[in-house]
Amino acid sequence: MTGREAIHKVRSVRMVAPEYPAYLAAMAEQALAHRRFGPKEEQTATYRVSGRIELGVRGWLAARVPLLEQRVIAADVLYRDERSYVPLFLELDAVEGEDATPRRIYEVKFTSNAGALRRGFAQLARARHILSARYDPVETVLILVQADRGDLVLDDRRLDDVAVIGSDDLPGVARLPARALLPVAPALLSPFLAAEDLVLLQRARDEGDANVSARLERSAAVERGEELPARPRGPRLPGVTLSFGDDTPEDEDQLAQSPFAALRSIVSDPGP
């Protein structure tokens, strides 16, 4: 993490709805920055369904815990090595609480990649740090909707301290583990998804299976001592706001269709 990315001080922390005018204006600015990098790439089924998965998870969660409409963190932050505060927005996938006061924050990952889980926990830790400037310590939960049809395997030593929990652990439990992972089977989201979303979900899981197979083949090639070609990475996009999901999409860990993603989609389309 560079000095520009490390937060030194935080002030004016509040929770706002995704329709908050200042947030929409900041997202529009960020979306225009994306457009300057040229036309968007062809969207995979995983990319297209990820936003619907997020909505489905919110519906599934709302049947179990009270969710807030205010799920965007707004704050002024002072970055290390900088001299003035700048506005920062973090859009959370779901926030549990009452009277606009967060109790638990949730990040949704539709993925089969352990790297996506590591990023998810890092995102949650960052959000919890900012919220701590105003609110009592909030709990964090990373929700995994597995994008392939295999079993959950936490084969990354950096996930050794992750505790897998069940949906019954959410309501009424006073304290959750520090890094709680809640797997949610795609079938549980069916009541909250349209028929066309379910079709797209199956296509996305086909992509997930293919991605897992490709990773296994690459790992086997490395073990055999074969030299693999470098995998191209997209440019790091500028902007003053941060929204969970605004990283360049990688394989099955694609950009969720938040309001930010919708705006980016609009401004990326040059039209007729």
Give per-residue pLDDT as tens, 112-128: 888 899 999 999 999 99
* Percent of the chain residues past pLDDT 70, beyond the cut: 79
Q: At what angle do helices 21-35 and 259-268 cross, to 10 degrees?
A: 40
Cα dist. 91→105, 115, 262 in Å? 11, 20, 14
CA distance 268 to 28: 11
Separation CA 12–CA 7 (nearest Å): 14
Strand 139-146 versus strand 101-111 pairing type: parallel
Which H helix or E strand runs over 47? helix 45-62
Q: Which residue has the higher pLDDT, 20 or 215?
A: 20
Q: Which residues contact 134 (CB under 8 A, 6 or more apart)?
A: 13, 14
Q: Which residues, in sequence order, are CB contacts of 24 under 8 Å at separation 6+?
A: 259, 263
Higher pLDDT, 259 or 60: 60
Q: What is the arithmetic mean of pLDDT over 51-78?
A: 95
Structure tokens at 66: 């009270």
Which of 101-105, 120-124, 253-257 has the least mean pLDDT? 253-257
Residue type, position 20, single letter: Y
State the average pLDDT over residues 129-154. Answer: 91
pLDDT at position 186 over 90: yes
pLDDT at 47: 87
Rounded to an integer, what distance in angstroms lies between the CA atom of residue 77 and that of residue 9?
6
pLDDT of residue 232: 60
Report the pLDDT averaged over residues 96-109. 94
Is the pLDDT score of 251 beyond 60? Answer: no
| DSSP at 179 | S
Would you place residue 267 in the very low, low, confident or very high pLDDT band (cuts 50, 70, 90)? very low
Confidence of residue 143 (pLDDT cuts 50, 70, 90): very high
* Across 187-200, average pLDDT: 95
- 73-82, 100-109, 207-216: which range is least confident on average? 207-216
CA distance 60 to 191: 9
pLDDT at 36: 58
Exposure on the CB side of residue 75, measured as CA atoms within 13 A: 26
- Check if the beta carbon of residue 108 is closer than 8 Å to that of residue 57: yes
d(CA 132, CA 61): 23
Give the chain's count of helices (H) and strands (E). 5, 8
- Higher-pLDDT residue of 145 and 234 is 145
Q: How far apart are CA 110 and CA 104, in angstroms?
A: 20
For residues 257 and 109, the model is more confident at: 109
Residue 58 has pLDDT above 70, yes or no: yes
Percent of the chain with pLDDT over 90: 51
Rounded to a whole number of angstroms, the distance between the first and last alpha carbons of the chain is: 41
pLDDT at 17 over 70: yes
